[in-house]
Amino acid sequence: MKKSSYKILVKEKLILEYYSGEIRMDDLLYSKEIISEDKIYNPEFNIIHDFRDANFIMAKEDVDKIQDFFKAHPKIDYERSGAYLTSKPNEVVFATFFSDILKTFKIKTEIFSTVEASLTWISDEKISVAFIQELLEELKIQTNNVYNS
């Protein structure tokens, strides 16, 4: 079963995204599109992507899909930071692959294995690690998802 859920934190200027199950590039890009249509979405907000429960399925044509998607969605390609939380080699490979492609766009990305490290890199403001970890746990069980199949 694959799942994607998100939470936009206006005060913290941060978007949390959670993914689990077998995720393909089309799933990830669909999530990005849905999130960008949220009424409180702000392209200046930094993003933490939690990929620790996801298994990514990649294909050669994904490079073109990513490039085409970001060119077609300038609201998403904005100068900001994106942190990838990973825990398995497959996630690191995917995050590295995605980061390498995004180097031609405005988003700066890095890969982390802890929430604390990602918060230190992504924000100048002091955001509670426990608060973010709690929200990520809530996203795991949230029923209002981008997709849940």
100-122 confidence digits (pLDDT tens): 666 666 678 788 989 999 999 98
User: What is the predicted pLDDT for the residue at 149?
Assistant: 47
Contacts of 42 (CB under 8 A, 6+ apart): 8, 10, 13
Task: Report the range of poorest mean pLDDT among 25-29, 72-76, 87-91.
Answer: 87-91
User: What is the predicted pLDDT for the residue at 106?
Assistant: 67
Render pLDDT for 29-44 as a digit per residue (tens, 0 to 9).
Answer: 899 889 999 999 999 9
Of the candidate CATH numbers 3.30.750.24, 3.40.50.300, 3.50.30.50, 2.40.50.100, the domain formed by 3-141 belongs to: 3.30.750.24
Split at pLDDT 50, 70, 90, the class of 75 is confident
User: What is the predicted pLDDT for the residue at 95?
Assistant: 65
